[in-house]
């Protein structure tokens, strides 16, 4: 190889080619790009909202949006798609359709249960007019089902190792909802934010799934016919119960907290909380992306799990430390742009940013556990984290000092991250030193 060729390989273009040539990083970067696009366009969405909707309507809309996201998200089966689609071939279509059907049915049932019990969620929800009546209830359930399927669609793209389509779909959705939030303000001043969020989802689901079932799944089937391990139906069903519990608890840690907090705050104060909580949870996408990609690549090539985990851990530190520093420094100015006194939520956002790195450590370990089918331990870890965060939030929530919610999130995640570190260290050891026959063969490390 000539000196010029070596220089080209070592330059930025060569580095980019090597990074994108590794499916672990290619999928992860696609999901990170999705997070960046969603965050940027989401910031524009939330920036525009206060100019068209008053603080009280804004607080009610964001609370209802969190309720829909909770119902649609806590019932999704992404964990199953991400884990088993990579090693499937002829059964991929049946697996995806089964996850869609089960997720949609669960979202309908949980949504109906939420509507029936809404009065017991607290004073803030018992007076919520947007959930009263037959047709508002039907719309709520329909939006929850649509959100469930949208998330399952993202899981399918990721499991197919075609996560590059995720930011494409979400960019179209984000731009559409941005236009609608302004267009609907006159006709629907009290619920235009929620409608602008979910109507585009309902419209985009059919064409996007036509791409998945008409093109991507057949290509995946052809490329993977006769390759590698195939989990049996019994193994998948055995994974379903504890795997679902772990996934639901993980999502509840993000989405249940706003529902609990909303019951203790006025709509105006809840708007300040949401302005910090939403971008804080968008940062969580960075912690989750490498974990999801690790599960996909570990399922596709189990022998490479140790090396892939080492590489993912390095990327996590390199990426998240500067992001955390930027958010902590910029949070006061960033929220001040929105007006309405929303900068009061800046300390909360700063604490939520500090929680991202310990969250990433936990999620990487969980990503490796899923490859090993240790879903019981995943459920335990997620349950401990949810119980700890909810318990401390209920204890510390103070309308005058919203940052205490962030303190609770940091404390719990640091404690859980410290508890899983020994297991993560064992996971990243070369395969010859790791226990368990499923990791046989030399680990491959990508720097």
pLDDT tens, residue by residue, 259-310:
787 777 777 777 788 778 878 877 877 778 778 878 887 777 777 778 888 8
Confidence of residue 442 (pLDDT cuts 50, 70, 90): very low
Confidence of residue 372 (pLDDT cuts 50, 70, 90): confident
Supply the mean pLDDT for the chain.
80
Domain presence at residue 4: no
Domain presence at residue 2: no
How many of the other CB atoms lie within 10 Å of CB of 436? 12
Domain presence at residue 210: yes
Which range is most confident: 125-129, 174-178, 190-194?
A: 174-178
Nearest to 61 by CA among 71, 49, 51: 49
> Which residue range(s) make up the domain with 418?
24-221+230-439
- The residues near 10 (Cβ < 8 Å, ≥ 6 apart) are none
Q: With 80 as the cut, is the pLDDT of residue 133 above it?
A: no
81-85, 286-290, 412-416: segment of lowest average pLDDT: 286-290
Q: With 60 as the cut, is the pLDDT of residue 17 above it?
A: yes
The confidence score (pLDDT) of residue 434 equals 40
Q: What is the mean pLDDT of residues 186-212?
A: 90
Distance of alpha carbon 26 from alpha carbon 162, whole angstroms:
9
**Contact (CB, 8 A) for 256 and 386:** yes
The confidence score (pLDDT) of residue 394 equals 82
Domain presence at residue 364: yes
Q: With 90 as the cut, is the pLDDT of residue 411 above it?
A: yes
Domain presence at residue 339: yes
Confidence of residue 14 (pLDDT cuts 50, 70, 90): low
The confidence score (pLDDT) of residue 440 equals 38
Q: With 70 as the cut, is the pLDDT of residue 6 above it?
A: no
Our count of domains for the chain comes to 1
185-189, 368-372, 385-389: segment of lowest average pLDDT: 185-189
Three-state DSSP at 265 gives coil
Domain presence at residue 445: no
Domain presence at residue 7: no
Q: What is the mean pLDDT of residues 361-368?
A: 90
The confidence score (pLDDT) of residue 439 equals 36
Percent of the chain surpassing pLDDT 70: 84
Domain presence at residue 18: no
């Amino acid at each position: 190889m000539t000196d010029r060729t070596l220089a080209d390989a070592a330059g930025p273009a060569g580095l980019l080619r090597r990074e994108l040539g590794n499916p672990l990083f290619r999928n992860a970067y696609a999901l990170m790009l999705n997070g960046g696009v969603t965050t940027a366009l989401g910031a524009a969405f939330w920036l525009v909202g206060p100019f068209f909707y008053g603080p009280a309507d804004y607080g009610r809309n964001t609370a209802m949006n969190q309720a829909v996201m909770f119902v649609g998200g806590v019932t999704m089966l992404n964990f199953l798609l991400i884990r088993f689609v990579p090693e499937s071939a002829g059964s991929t279509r049946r697996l995806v359709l089964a996850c869609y059907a089960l997720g949609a049915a669960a979202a309908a049932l949980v949504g109906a249960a939420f509507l029936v019990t809404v009065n017991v969620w607290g004073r803030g929800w018992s007076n919520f007019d947007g959930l009263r009546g037959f047709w508002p209830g039907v719309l709520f359930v329909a939006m929850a089902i649509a959100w469930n399927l949208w998330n399952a669609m993202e899981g399918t793209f990721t499991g197919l190792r075609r996560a590059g389509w995720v930011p494409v779909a979400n960019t179209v959705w984000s731009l559409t909802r941005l236009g609608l939030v302004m267009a609907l303000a006159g006709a629907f001043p009290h619920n235009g934010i929620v409608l602008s969020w979910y109507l585009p989802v309902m419209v985009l689901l059919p064409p996007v799934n036509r791409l998945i079932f008409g093109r991507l799944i057949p290509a995946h089937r052809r490329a993977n016919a006769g390759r590698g391990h195939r989990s049996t139906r019994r193994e998948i069903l055995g994974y379903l119960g504890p795997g679902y519990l772990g996934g639901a608890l993980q999502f509840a840690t993000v989405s249940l907290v706003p529902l609990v907090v909303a019951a203790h705050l006025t709509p105006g104060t809840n708007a300040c909380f949401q302005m910090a909580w939403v971008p804080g949870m968008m940062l969580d996408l960075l912690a989750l992306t490498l974990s999801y990609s690790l599960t996909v690549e570990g399922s596709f090539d189990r022998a490479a799990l140790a090396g892939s985990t080492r590489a993912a851990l390095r990327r996590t530190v390199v990426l998240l430390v500067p992001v955390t520093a930027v958010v902590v420094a910029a949070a006061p100015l960033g929220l001040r742009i929105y007006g309405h006194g929303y900068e009061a939520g800046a300390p909360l956002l700063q604490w939520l940013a500090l929680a991202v790195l310990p969250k990433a450590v936990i999620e990487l370990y969980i990503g490796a556990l899923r490859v090993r089918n240790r879903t019981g331990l995943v459920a335990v870890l997620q349950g401990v984290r949810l119980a700890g965060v909810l318990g401390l939030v209920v204890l510390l929530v103070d309308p005058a000092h919203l940052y205490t919610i962030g303190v609770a999130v940091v404390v719990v995640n640091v404690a859980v991250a410290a508890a899983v570190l020994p297991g993560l260290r064992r996971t990243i050891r070369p395969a010859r030193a790791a226990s368990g026959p499923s990791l046989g063969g030399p680990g491959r490390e990508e720097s």
